[in-house]
Amino acid sequence: MSDPFARLKIEPAYRKIAAVLIERITSGALKTGERLPAETELAGRLGVHRSTIREALRELESAGLLRRERGSKLMMVSRPDRDTVASGVTRALTLHEATVAEVWEALTVIEPMVAEFAARRRSAEALAALVAVVESAAPVGTMREGAADLAAAQAAEFFRALAAVAGNRVLSMSHEPLLQLMASSLRKLVAAVPQARSRIAAAQRRILEAVECGDAVAARDWCGKHVRDYRRGFEVAGINLSLPISSVITPKAAQ
């Protein structure tokens, strides 16, 4: 039985200040692009030491909520970029020992819906970017050094570009941690399975054609087939889907 009079955990003052600033940023009281007062002024207004303010600002800067413009000493409210948001989720999923299969299953749910939305909402600019990604794939016969890394990166970038066409920021940020976690698995798949690159290229073109034509059903179905096909590739490459994703991640992918 836990002690009802256990010692209370005293939170550092800078964490309390950081929490206050986070609440004011997320509530909209502090707008994106708005400059914060100087550290000395903030310390006086909030009734704490300047060193406390400095630590709080560093924490929010690390989280992507604040940034300092070049040549300025003042912090500015900013939006965390995609990688900053994803890195926290990636760490959490890794620590919770999410398996390769679980990450893949999540992609089978998210990506077909992304493709469907892309076909319904495509804009000329976003579509052009998707076409560029598909065309950036190296010729299948190319076996230069680093070819597997490049092919795996292109495969992941295809899904990012597809999400941009779909125009749904929630879906875009939801799948980013999954793509990062699958990076090593994709490299191993492409390196170990000779036919993987041609199958990936063919599927990407089918999905692109459906999106360009505005055929939401075909885009969803082809994307579903594409993601499901990765499972067979993982198995052929000898990747154990029941293992934690951390067992597949290489130092390069973890960076």
Query: What pLDDT score was predicted for residue 116?
Result: 97
CB atoms near residue 41 (< 10 Å): 12
Query: What pLDDT score was predicted for residue 7?
Result: 66
Q: Where do the CATH 1.10.10.10 domains begin and end in the chain?
A: 13-77
Q: Which range, of 71-75, 173-177, 251-255, averages the lowest pLDDT?
A: 251-255
Query: pLDDT tens digit string along 38-71?
Result: 999 999 998 999 999 999 999 999 888 999 888 8
Report the amino acid identity of residue 25: I
Q: Give the architecture-level CATH label for domain 83-254.
A: Up-down Bundle (1.20)
Q: Where do the CATH 1.20.120.530 domains begin and end in the chain?
A: 83-254
Q: How far apart are CA 89 and CA 60, in angstroms?
A: 17
Q: How far apart are CA 187 and CA 200, in angstroms?
A: 13
SS3 17: helix
How confident is residue 254, by pLDDT bands cut at 50, 70 and 90? very low
How confident is residue 255, by pLDDT bands cut at 50, 70 and 90? very low
Class of domain 13-77: mainly alpha
Residue 148 or residue 97, greater confidence: 97
Name the burial class of residue 2, with classes exposed (0-12), middle (13-18) and buried (19+) by CB atoms within 10 angstroms of its CB: exposed
Percentage above 90 pLDDT, the chain: 61
Q: What is the mean pLDDT of residues 213-228?
A: 97
Q: How far apart are CA 30 and CA 22, in angstroms?
A: 9
Q: What is the mean pLDDT of residues 3-12?
A: 70
Query: What pLDDT score was predicted for residue 140?
Result: 59
Our CA angle for 213, 165, 207, nearest 5°, is 45
Average of per-residue pLDDT values in the chain: 88
**pTM for this structure?**
0.79
